Amino acid sequence: MNKEEIINIIESTLTSGSKTPGIFDLPKILAIKAELQACHSVDDFLGIIDEHRDLISKAFGLSEDAIDSAVQKIKALEGK
């Protein structure tokens, strides 16, 4: 697993959103970031993204398609 590539995919997806997290969402987003940084497998990353999908979508103004696309890119890295 290439953790750097996965983080790049996630960061790229988040910056493509139409919003920046508000002050009340920021602590939750930072907690998710800490969880992601502690991941040791692709499944860990995907589990966290899935668990917090609604918050991520709302806080960053992302469509479900954008999140699905990021998930597919991360899954594609699993085979490498």
In this predicted structure, what is the pLDDT of residue 77? 86
Overall pTM surpassing 0.75 (yes/no) = yes
Residue type, 1: M
Taking each helix axis from N to C end, the angle separating 53-60 and 26-37, rounded to the nearest 10 degrees, works out to 130
Domain hosting residue 38, numbered range? 3-78
Q: Look at residue 5 and tell me whether its pLDDT is greater than 70.
A: yes
What are the tens digits of pLDDT across the range 24-66? 999 999 999 999 999 999 999 999 999 999 999 999 999 999 9
- Number of domains observed in the structure of the chain: 1
In this predicted structure, what is the pLDDT of residue 79? 67
Instruction: Enter the tokens of residue 74.
Output: 């991360």
